[in-house]
Structure 1
């Protein structure tokens, strides 16, 4: 019985997540209700609430899983930096519907803020210490740049391969970091 329950829970979560992304693409995140999500997924509201508190919790869980996958891909410090940057963009390509829906025109400011905060934390771990009155400024700028770059790349149907956008954005980030290194 536990195996059946596990399959049922996974199926329900998959249906809800798919419905969420489809509805965000169509209507926008802020206007969605749990009833619309469960209706599209063809699952009961009770099933929804057995898994999630509300639509924000659903998005949070999806985001946490996606970020865990991203961190896993980028964690190998033995790999060259270029490969890790490319892994970031390959991850975005793999989850393009999710990120496109949540960061696009119909997306959620809450999600964009959460992604910026997460990327700021990741950037702060890998950047040299920034002396001066605002040490958090550089990771914040780099994170904001990446959120905008991801949004642009997805809204334009990924016009360049992951390795190319990785090289381009890494170059811009390097310029920002180099400039910040010159600050007194």
Structure 2
């Protein structure tokens, strides 16, 4: 019985994730609603809410977002700043941009300027703010928590903005180049000179 339940859960989640990808590809993020998703997936709203809190929770749980997060892990600022290749991109950042480039139709839809504010906030946390939370831990014993919070907000917003602009310009710059640019911006960020 447990195996059949597991199979049903996997099937339902697969249907919903496939419907999500289909809507984003064909209709864009503006048409992404629970109602529309349930219609495309052929499920009822009760089934959706059995698995996810809301549409944003579904997005965060997709294999594509989880794959990006496994590459885009919190940055060790000291390691990045001390990375010996001062002309190249920091490898985790390069991998993340290559990953987004590979799955561009999905990420372009999510980073669209007309995406709902809540989605932007969650994405900003996932690909921006979250990446610099090591700064908070690194500075915990230095009584600079307020400064650190502003530095994290600055870096997170800047990174999110760069990713969004990259998709807005239809990835005119190759992933390696945008990764190299972001690496240089982080390495020389004035807000880090105060503490690193």
Give the direction of change, closer, same or farther, for the CA distance of 1:149–1:18 in structure 2 (3 Å limit). Answer: farther
**SS of equivalent to 1:134:** helix
The Cα of 1:95 is off from its aligned counterpart by 4.0
Which stretch shows the higher mean deviation, 130-139 or 94-103?
A: 130-139
Partner of 1:180: 191
Partner of 1:73: 71
Partner of 2:54: 54
Alpha-carbon contact 1:112-1:147 (below 8 Å) kept: no
The Cα of 1:38 is off from its aligned counterpart by 0.8
Partner of 1:160: 173
The Cα of 1:35 is off from its aligned counterpart by 2.1
Q: CA RMSD in A?
A: 3.5
Greater RCO, 1 or 2 (C-alpha within 8 Å, sep 6+): 2
Of the three residues 80, 105, 123, the one matched with 1:115 is: 123
The Cα of 1:104 is off from its aligned counterpart by 0.5
Partner of 2:15: 15
Give the direction of change, closer, same or farther, for the CA distance of 1:115–1:56 in structure 2 (3 Å limit). Answer: closer
Give the direction of change, closer, same or farther, for the CA distance of 1:3–1:154 in structure 2 (3 Å limit). Answer: farther
2:95 counterpart of 1:87: yes
Give the direction of change, closer, same or farther, for the CA distance of 1:54–1:84 in structure 2 (3 Å limit). Answer: closer
Instruction: Number of aligned residue pairs: give it.
Output: 179
Partner of 1:99: 107
TM-score by length of 1: 0.74
Alpha-carbon contact 1:102-1:108 (below 8 Å) kept: no
The one-character-per-residue Cα deviations of 1:139-161 (angstroms, maximum 9, x if unpaired) are: 21111111111112222222233
Give the direction of change, closer, same or farther, for the CA distance of 1:12–1:162 in structure 2 (3 Å limit). Answer: same
Gaps of 5+ in 2: 84-88
Partner of 1:150: 163
